[in-house]
Amino acid sequence: MLTGAAGFIGSNLAHFLTSQDAYVVVYDKLTYAGNPASLEGIPCERMSFVKGDICDTELVYRTLCEYGIDAVFHLAAESHVDRSIDGPAAFIETNINGTFSMLTAARRYYESLDGERRSGFRFLHISTDEVYGSLGKTGYFTENTPYAPNSPYSASKASSDHLVRAWFHTYGLPVLTTNCSNNYGPRQFPEKLIPLIIHNALADKELPVYGDGKNIRDWLYVEDHCRALDTVMRLGVPGETYNVGGSCERQNIQIVKTICSILDELRPKAGGAKYEEQIKFVKDRPGHDRRYAIDASKIKRELGWQPQETFESGILKTIKWYLDNQQWIANILNGKYRCERLGLGGDEQ
Ligand code: NAD
């Protein structure tokens, strides 16, 4: 069962797992960030779709029972920092109460299992490196770094991490937690930096860069994250947390300039103009963390995971995907989703 798998990472995970012969049940409320079109291409015989809210404990429980779920990847969340600053309530509701609801349903279900089904059951909570706060010029986040969230988004994710930990220690639910750095790749909603810059560049709009553009993030290609999640699900030790990162630190302005120069090659502008000319520095986001960087040595050492893409190969694949899937972006921005295949009765807003 994959919660939030009509979103960015979840849909990539659904494609990845079904390509490895898994059967997945996607459970998603289809908020503005969820797009069933992101699941197109997955054979019907490998996937079921349940439209539901993770706060609906009964529906989560019924879904677990009906499909005889043996592993939960919990990705559903409100995920955009700027939105959490403008309207934190939805983040508290989905990220904290929703995770509480997931744990409640999963615990009831787990306690009804026996034998191998019980010993094999796992609940993997997908979290973020933002729970650790901001780094100075040096150092890395390890699994032992104290939590210091600075935005309503990261505070809500930190809360959910604590609940998941407590359900292991108090109730013995076999949980795992991953804290991952910034992802990029296909099917990301174009409000996040990389798809926003690609979309605006092609639409001849300004390319907004916060502050001085020197905030640093540690970027990971989404399929490498999916491989890490699959690895943790199969080999991770219940109760443990694993940091996941690509060791690809880049300043935001470097990212934007890289995208511009790749687009100059792949989709040159008329008259020799350069995409970089569209860059515009804008007022910084309040509480904007300066630097994130992950120490992923635990998952590498203990579980044998390694990222397969460099930033250079991943960003090229990503840009090519967006160039080839302009209609996907248009659909998601217009709120026009093709739902027929999933039996949802036409376009969803
Ligand atoms: P996303 O915003 O693209 O997708 C979120 C999905 O969750 C959407 O399909 C949405 O419809 C669904 N959803 C939201 N509220 C729901 C609810 N109440 N009930 C059911 N479904 C609901 O997010 P993403 O970028 O794919 O992130 C997925 C997870 O990974 C999140 O938990 C996020 O915190 C975590 N994460 C993301 C990144 C990143 O760089 N994107 C990095 C580390 C961790």
The torsion angles phi and psi of 175, rounded to 5 degrees, stand at -100, 155
- Best of 1, 9, 39, 299 for a ligand 1 pocket test (most atoms within 8 Å of beta carbon): 9
Nearest-atom number in ligand 1 for the CA of 30 is 11
Phi, psi values for residue 134, rounded to 5° = -115, 145
Those residues of the chain that have pLDDT short of 50 are 338-349
Question: How far is residue 311's CA from residue 9's CA, in Å, rounded to a whole number?
Answer: 17
Domain ranges of the chain: 2-342
Which atom of ligand 1 is nearest to 80's Cα? 2
Considering Cα of 113, then 116, then 117, then 121, what sign does the dihedral take? Answer: positive
Verdict on whether the full-model pTM lies above 0.75: yes
Q: Write down the pLDDT at residue 347.
A: 28
- pLDDT tens, 170-222? 999 999 999 999 999 999 998 899 999 999 999 999 999 999 999 999 999 99
Tokens encoding 242: 């694993």
Contacts of 119 (CB under 8 A, 6+ apart): none
Q: Is 25 left (phi over 0), alpha (psi -120 to 50) or beta?
A: beta
- pLDDT attached to residue 346: 31
Q: What is the pLDDT, as a whole number, of residue 328?
A: 85
Q: Compute, in angstroms, the gap from residue 34 CA to the centroid of ligand 1.
A: 8
CA of 286 relative to ligand 1 center, distance in Å: 22
- Taking CA atoms only, the protein residue closest to ligand 1 atom 1 is 7
Amino acid at 230: D
* Cα 135 from Cα 249, distance rounded (Å): 12
Distance CA 337, CA 327 (A): 11
Q: What is the pLDDT at residue 72?
A: 99
Structural fold of domain 2-342: Rossmann fold (3.40.50)
Q: Which of 79, 178, 220 to mutate to test the pocket of ligand 1 (most atoms within 8 A of CB)?
A: 79
Residue 126's DSSP bridge partners are 178
Nearest to 11 by CA among 30, 122, 179, 349: 30
* Ligand 1-lining residues (CB < 6 angstroms): 3-4, 6-10, 28-31, 33-34, 53-55, 75-79, 94, 98, 126, 128, 157, 180, 182-183, 189
Mutate to test the pocket of ligand 1, among 1, 25, 30, 31 (most ligand atoms within 8 A of CB): 31
Q: For residue 337, what pLDDT is reported? A: 53
**At which residue do the structure tokens 């001085």 appear?**
212
Using N-to-C axis directions, what is the helix angle for 193-202 and 252-266, rounded to 10°?
40
Question: Distance from the CA of 79 to the center of ligand 1, in angstroms?
Answer: 5
For residue 75, report the distance from its CA to the centre of ligand 1, in Å. 5
Cβ neighbours, 10 Å, residue 270: 5
Tell me the catalytic residues. 129-130, 153
Q: What is the 3-state secondary structure (H, E, C) of the chain?
A: CEECCCCHHHHHHHHHHHHCCCCEEEEECCCCCCCHHHHCCCCHHHEEEEECCCCCHHHHHHHHHHHCCCEEEECCCCCCHHHHHHCCHHHHHHHHHHHHHHHHHHHHHHHHCCHHHHHHCEEEEEEEHHHHCCCCCCCCECCCCCCCCCCHHHHHHHHHHHHHHHHHHHHCCCEEEEEECCEECCCCCCCCHHHHHHHHHHCCCCEEEECCCCCEEECEEHHHHHHHHHHHHHHCCCCCEEEECCCCEEEHHHHHHHHHHHHHHHCCCHHHCCHHHHEEEECCCCCCCCECCECCHHHHHHHCCCCCCCHHHHHHHHHHHHHHCHHHHHHHHHCCCCCHHHCCCCCCC
Q: Which of 207, 190, 216 is nearest to 288 (CA)?
A: 216
**CA 99 – CA 240 distance, rounded (Å):** 18
Q: Tokens in use for 222?
A: 């989404």
The predicted pLDDT at position 344 comes to 44
pLDDT in tens, 70-82: 999 999 999 999 9
How many Å lie between the centroid of ligand 1 and the Cα of residue 184?
13
338, 44 contact by CB (below 8 A): no
| Cβ pair 209, 253 in contact under 8 A | yes
Question: How far, in Å, CA of 246 to CA of 224, rounded?
Answer: 8
* Nearest atom within ligand 1 for CA of residue 52: 20
Ligand 1 atom, smallest distance to 9 CA: 26
Contact predicate 252/290, CB 8 Å: no
Residue nearest to atom 43 of ligand 1 (CA): 128
Q: Which ligand 1 atom minimizes the distance to the CA of 183?
A: 40
> How much is the pLDDT for 336?
58
